[in-house]
Amino acid sequence: MRVELLTVGDELLLGDTVNGNAAWLGRRLADHGVEVTRSVVVGDDLDEIVEAVTEALDRADAVITTGGLGPTSDDLTRDALAKAAGVAVVRHPDLERRLRERAAAAGRELRPTALRMADVPEGAGLLANSAGSAPGLRVELPGGTVYALPGVPSEMRTIMEEVVLPELAGARGPAPTARRILRTAGLWESELAEALAPVEALDGVALAYLPAPAEVRIRVAAAPDRLDDVERRVRALLGPGAVYGVDDETLDRVVHRLLAERSATVAAAESLTGGLIGAELSRMPGASETFVGGMVTYSTALKEKALGVPADLLARHGAVHPDVAAAMASGVRERLGATYGVAVTGVAGPDPQDGRPVGTVYAGVAGPERPPLVIAPRLPVPGDGARAREAIRAMTVVHALELLRRVLLDLPAQPGADPGGGRAREDREV
């Protein structure tokens, strides 16, 4: 079964919006064993939509469209589907009644334009929308089925989960391959690829490397009954602890789990990241069980005043120094009464600071039993100033959380020896 996606909206072509709907749809369809073979974006133009839908059904069995179902004059998907089907657009009495009821319940008058949401191509099926006003539409064309969904992500997702995915999953056969994501932090794509060459060479196994700041997710695809074995091989080749999580098990979730298993808590002291580590450690529901809070000591003076970093240390070396990271980690741990303190200091740029170049970063972890551990991950500094700044801050968060994970698991502070020469040579335990 081949499915194509068609996203409608000028804002996507103009780049005002990133196409998150297409990514979500691709992921959820893959989860259900349905293959997306093409994804197309067209603007708010009737003929473009008609043409794109018709072409897509020449290639695929079904098309899922998002967008263009709202009440305004640039919402053209229902007209385009009627044109493609050669039918009229008719007002649906049930929908009109429901729209009037919803407006009345909210104490609002129904605006005339809103009634457009009660119009449907003649003969279209309605896809119930428990998250909003207008339903999705199912339109049968000669080449196959069109599922038309709203562009609002919450409504689109609701209709997919409740109506479309069950319907498509019923129509497809058993999934031929299964996929699993193995997550790593602090390792480079090239060294992973080199280390995993023996797995890549296996028949019927496909690996893909999905990079994110300071992380690489390895997507393993194989027959369902081989997946566990492939995962074991990957873990063995990468060495102990290199894979920190599987599928949706993000680094913050792993850290929270490890802390909870030890009845431990953590506090964060941040400089260049400005609060991103705390934001990450508070992302998960229930984070307050293990995350106490943090200090953002963005100014150098605050590092002394709020965290007790020795003034002579700051005077001698400036704020970007491994001993400062260690003192920040110890300081926040003690002052906020947490089992562990995690701290970062560094230069996000665009200008050097205290004589240190952009990309110099120190991450430290202080715990109950041994002196603070500090690493100096060398970060690639991509592109221009503003982009580099954003990337450096994001990579710093990952290196700090990965160091905390390694301390909690008693692993070496840095991931395994370099098999391919690709590792940053300046990575070290300070």
| Sites for a second copy among residues 258-277 (CB under 8 A) | 268, 270, 272-277
Please give the structure tokens belonging to residue 375. Answer: 């690493």
How far, rounded to the nearest angstrom, does the alpha carbon of residue 225 sit from its chain's CA centroid? 28
Q: In whole angstroms, give the CA distance from residue 339 to residue 343.
A: 13
b/e code 150-164 from CB counts within 10 Å (16+ = b) = bbbeebbbbbbeebb
Dihedral sign for Cα 396, 401, 404, 410, please. Answer: negative
Options 128, 210, 223, 236; binder of a second copy; rule CB under 8 A = 210
Which of residues 157 and 430 has its CB atom nearest to a second copy in the complex?
157
State in angstroms the smallest separation of the CB of 271 from a second copy: 9
Specify whether the CB–CB gap between 242 and 187 falls below 8 A: yes
* Given 89, 90, 296, 411, the residue binding a second copy (CB under 8 A): 296
Residues in 105-134 at the binding interface with a second copy, rule: CB under 8 A: 107-109, 131
- Report the residue from 147, 244, 291, 340 that binds a second copy according to the rule CB under 8 A: 291
7 or 145: whose CB is closer to a second copy?
7
Site for a second copy in 305-344 (CB under 8 A): 305-306, 335-337
Residues in contact with 285: Cβ distance below 8 Å, sequence separation at least 6, in sequence order: none
Using CB under 8 A, which of 88, 171, 208, 311 touches a second copy? Answer: 208
The span of 47-55, 139-147, 170-178, 238-246 binding a second copy (CB under 8 A) equals 47-55
Nearer to a second copy, 16 or 312 (CB): 16
Size of the site for a second copy (CB under 8 A): 92
Residue from 137, 132, 238 nearest 185 by CA: 238
The site map against a second copy for 166-205 (x = CB under 8 A) is -------------x-x-----------x------------
Residue whose CB is less far from a second copy, 124 or 168? 168
> DSSP 3-state assignment of 377?
coil
Residue 397 to residue 6: CA distance in whole angstroms: 36
Interaction residues for a second copy, span 351-390 (CB under 8 A):
351, 382-383, 385-387, 389-390
Is the Cβ of residue 97 or residue 108 nearer to a second copy in the bound state?
Answer: 108
* 27: contact with a second copy by CB under 8 A: yes
CB 396 within 8 A of CB 346: yes
- Enter the DSSP assignment of 109: P
- Binding of residue 249 to a second copy (CB under 8 A): no
**Closest to a second copy by CB, 306 or 313:** 306
Cβ distance to a second copy smaller for residue 94 or 247? 247
Which of residues 11, 96, 167, 354 is near a second copy by CB under 8 A? 11
Place of tokens 């020449």: 58
Per CB under 8 A, the list member of 37, 176, 198, 368 interacting with a second copy is 37
Nearer to a second copy, 116 or 179 (CB): 179
393 Cβ contact list (under 8 Å, min separation 6): 272, 273, 274, 276, 348
Q: How far is CA 306 from the centre of its chain?
A: 33
Contact 150, 129 (CB under 8 A): yes
283 is a contact residue toward a second copy (CB under 8 A): yes
User: How many CB atoms are closer than 10 A to CB 251?
Assistant: 22
Q: Exactly one of 34, 36, 327, 395 binds a second copy (CB under 8 A); which one?
A: 36
Q: Which stretch binds a second copy (CB under 8 A): 78-86, 89-97, 289-297, 398-406?
A: 289-297
Q: Nearer to a second copy by C-beta: 55 or 167?
A: 55
Query: CA-to-CA distance for 317 and 324, rounded, in angstroms?
Result: 9
Examine residue 427 and tell whether it contacts a second copy (CB under 8 A): no
Residue 186's region, left for phi above 0, alpha for psi from -120 to 50, else beta, is left
Based on CB atoms, which residue is closest to a second copy, 276 or 365? 276
Q: Is 42 in the site for a second copy (CB under 8 A)?
A: yes
Amino acid residing at 169: A
251-261 helix and 385-408 helix, angle to the nearest 10 degrees: 30
93 preceded by cis ω (within 30°)?
no
Cβ 407 to a second copy, closest distance in Å? 21
Q: Is residue 257 at the binding interface for a second copy, with CB under 8 A as the rule?
A: no
Binders of a second copy in range 66-85 (CB under 8 A) = 72, 74
293 forms part of the interface with a second copy (CB under 8 A): yes
**Nearest CA to 325 among 277, 394, 389, 289?**
277
3-state secondary structure 238-253: HCCCCEEEECCCCHHH
- Interface segment toward a second copy; rule CB under 8 A; list 101-109, 135-143, 167-175, 362-370: 101-109
DSSP reduced 3-state for 336: helix
